[in-house]
Amino acid sequence: MPKLVAYKDMNPRAKAVVDGIARARSIKPDEINNVWKALARHPDVMERFADELKMAMGPGKLDPLTKELVYLAVSIANQCDYCIASHTAMAAKKGMTGEMHEEFMAVVLAAQKGNKIASAYRVPVDAAFEEN
């Protein structure tokens, strides 16, 4: 098991990161999830990830649920168990119903198949797609 650092034992920089996340999620700092307890040993990495996440997942042209689904899709492709567990929970909080979850899985699996087909058959990119 990694050395998870409880909120009360974190250094000030790590505490500040957790405080910011806790405020945004309306939770108490000691209810923070494990990834932040693990990162607390490395404040540079922690601050940079918290900042990147906030920018990426914050308000913009894409709605919050779409962003969660994109995050979850990457996590499934990479088979990251922690990320799948946590972001499935977050997607549900942001409105993903059981039906949407099933449709999402169908798309992920179709994409996964398409990726391996394109590679296995060594398909050259069509001229029409080269601009992308």
Q: Which of residues 37-96 bind a second copy (CB under 8 A)?
A: 38-39, 41-42, 44-45, 48-49, 52-53, 55-57, 60-62, 66-67, 69-89, 92
Helix (H, G, I), strand (E, B) or coil at 53: helix
**Interacting residue with a second copy among 15, 21, 33, 94 (CB under 8 A):** 33
Q: Tell whether residue 26 is a contact of a second copy (CB under 8 A).
A: no
The SS3 assignment for 103 reads helix
- Is residue 111 near a second copy by the rule CB under 8 A? yes
Phi/psi class of residue 122: alpha, beta or left (left: φ > 0; alpha: ψ in -120 to 50)? left
Q: Judged by CB, which is closer to a second copy: 15, or 101?
A: 101
| Residue 80 per-residue DSSP state | -
CA distance linking residue 25 with residue 74, whole number of Å:
23
d(CA 67, CA 64): 5
| Residue nearer to a second copy on the CB measure, 8 or 102 | 102
CB of 34 to a second copy, least distance (A): 5
Residue 129 makes contact with a second copy by CB under 8 A? yes
For a second copy (CB under 8 A), the number of binding residues is 82
Report the distance separating Cα 94 and Cα 69, nearest Å.
10
6 binds a second copy per the rule CB under 8 A: no
Most distant CA pair in the chain, distance = 58
Is residue 103 involved in binding a second copy (CB under 8 A)?
yes
Least distance between a second copy and beta carbon 19 (Å): 19
